[in-house]
Structure 1
Amino acid sequence: MAQQHPQPGLARCYQHQDQETGVRCTRCDRPICPSCMVEAAVGYQCPRCVRGAAGATRAARPRTLAGGRVTGDAGIVTKILLAMNAVVFLAVLARGDEMVIDLGMLGYATDGGTFLAPNWIGVADGEWYRLLTSAFLHQEIWHFGFNMLGLWLLGPPLESALGRVRFVALYLLSALAGSTLSFVLADQTQLSLGASGAIFGLFGATAVLARRLRYDMRPILLLLAVNLVITFAWSAIAWQAHIGGLVAGVVIASGLVWAPRRLRLPVQITVCALVALTLLVTCLIRANQLVG
């Protein structure tokens, strides 16, 4: 991942020296990163100031930038997702093509039945689980490695800034958005698989978060541009999944980090629900077109 060079005027978090930030504690004026931000009545406070005020009538509850709970291990969900992908990858290696055919993203195709009585399989035939299960499938080690590297690099900072529940919503909805756009635009008889849609969703969310925190946008935009060039230059890549995940990631993250503080939770729930509803309606319309 491209290195982010220090900029004049940007300090480093007093607890996490590898994190640049433009936010300071409203009590002690120390620079704090998203992991250390505790929401206060005005601005954000650092964990030390919050602990120092523990004897007050009502102590502030630590919250992330997006309103999630601050936890000890900010990367636990990322590690769980990595482990899930690794377990499924090993299962695919053990079972071969059978598991890919059963769980991969497939729009509408026959599985070898006769001309008079074809056996149809795919999302349009009611196998909706393929939209999500395909996002945990990998066959080639390079495909698995690149996607997991992206998850390892992008996951923890986003999980720290958003909170666990919001990060899970971002990841899964981005994965579903990638599968949905593939269902709409890709060859319905072609199997596709991989976590790329979810990873591109993390790319989009990282760009939104960088903008929200006023970080240097150039490193993430450059890395995203390189990945998009590879996406369209390599014919074996399902570009539809990448674009679908990217767009969903930008939309969801915008709703999570830019929601007004007093209406934050309702706005965040509404944005995620609207994205999910849009994906559902799109899939229903496409399925009806294919089987109608």
Structure 2
Amino acid sequence: MNPQPPAPTCVRHPNRPTGLACTRCGRPSCAECLRPAAVGQHCVDCLRQDQRNTPRVRTVAGAPVARSPIPYITYALIVANVVIYAVTAVQSKSLVDNYYRSTFFARWMLVPDLVADGQWVRVLGAGFLHWGPIHLALNMFALWVVGRSLEPALGRTRYLAVYLVALLGGSAASMIFQDPTSAAAGASGAVYGLFGAITVLLIRVRQNPNQMLILIGINIFISFSLPGISLSGHLGGLIAGTLATLGVLFLPEWLHAKSQEAAHSIGWAAIAAVALVDLVAIGAAVASLA
């Protein structure tokens, strides 16, 4: 009498005999390693392979759809601005006149003559300073409103890059057109850049951009009308953010990019090109003041 052959064992758990098998690959698998499928049951290895081979859903900008809808970069930027404001308020011992007697504020506010003297940190640092709580609240509210829609569409890294490029664009314009001895501060240049970016996004997805265009027009009119507002910084940020986002959303199509990877590279090249123009403009302003 011939002995019965041993029962097959699960490929992932060799100590578990099983009479079941994956209907896709045919390998024996225990009940723990199988999942119901439209036809039969598939093992977890086959399901994992399917997930790797399935292209991820992407936004109109080519960014993978984030697993979490929370706009982490937007919140991080808001926190950074609020924390820096709190530091200046503590140093000055005033919530309203936080710029008064604050060494932090004095070292970071954008003064073209001081940048030309080698204090380059002011070009970036000034974008995180604010003249009092109302200035801070207006900018952070605008950042929160726009960032929640723009960050998921562009993807976190490119969204942050556009923000920083717009910030530098605002600083570059201030360096060129601002009185060399005057001071400027605020995230307004970066926020204006995001206004331009979301307008480009609305056009790309074929939605009506009129509300954003009206909002931008109103803000530019206010910048013209009220004294003490850096119009050049606002316009510089607006132009830089708009051009960078045009490069991300439209340039790959205009250049007939043949793959998602090529489109991704073109978008980053556009952002880098705008950043380079910002830096060249800042360098030219420094050279003229030297």
Letter of the structure 2 residue corresponding to residue 100 of structure 1? F
Q: Distance in 2 between matches of 1:207 and 1:61?
A: 26
Correspondence for 2:200: 208
- RMSD over aligned CA atoms reads 1.8
- Unaligned residue ranges in structure 2 (runs of 5+): 1-46, 93-101
The match for 2:115 among 111, 123, 127 is 123
2:246 equivalent to 1:254: yes
Correspondence for 2:74: 78
- Unaligned residue ranges in structure 1 (runs of 5+): 1-51, 109-121
Contact 1:74 1:159 in 2 (8 A): no
Q: Distance in 2 between matches of 1:269 and 1:163?
A: 12
2:217 equivalent to 1:221: no
2:182 equivalent to 1:183: no
Correspondence for 2:59: 64
Letter of the structure 1 residue corresponding to residue 275 of structure 2? A
Q: CA deviation at 1:56?
A: 7.3
Q: Distance in 2 between matches of 1:80 and 1:69?
A: 20
Q: Distance in 2 between matches of 1:152 and 1:250?
A: 18
Q: CA deviation at 1:98?
A: 2.1
2:93 equivalent to 1:88: no
Q: Which has the larger radius of gyration?
A: 2
Correspondence for 2:110: 105
Q: CA deviation at 1:185?
A: 0.6
* Off by >4 Å, runs of 4+ in structure 1: none
Q: Deviations over 1:207-226 (max 9, x none)?
A: 10011111112111111111
Q: CA deviation at 1:62?
A: 2.8
After alignment, is 85-94 or 252-261 more displaced?
252-261
C-alpha change, 1:53 and 1:282, in structure 2 (3 Å) is: same
Q: Distance in 2 between matches of 1:284 and 1:222?
A: 33
After alignment, is 56-65 or 168-177 more displaced?
56-65
Correspondence for 2:270: 271
Q: Deviations over 1:103-140 (max 9, x none)?
A: 111110xxxxxxxxxxxxx1111111111100000131
Contact 2:202 2:209 in 1 (8 A): yes
* Structure (1/2) with the larger helix percentage: 2
Contact 2:128 2:186 in 1 (8 A): yes
Q: CA deviation at 1:101?
A: 1.2
State TM-score, norm by structure 2: 0.75
Correspondence for 1:25: none
State TM-score, norm by structure 1: 0.74
The match for 2:232 among 223, 240, 244 is 240
Q: CA deviation at 1:57?
A: 7.8
Correspondence for 1:28: none
Q: Distance in 1 between matches of 2:83 and 2:72?
A: 16
Letter of the structure 1 residue corresponding to residue 121 of structure 2? Y
Q: Distance in 2 between matches of 1:225 and 1:136?
A: 24
The match for 2:147 among 141, 144, 155 is 155
User: 1:68 is paired with a residue of what secondary structure?
Assistant: coil
Task: Give the % identical residues.
Answer: 33
C-alpha change, 1:57 and 1:210, in structure 2 (3 Å) is: closer
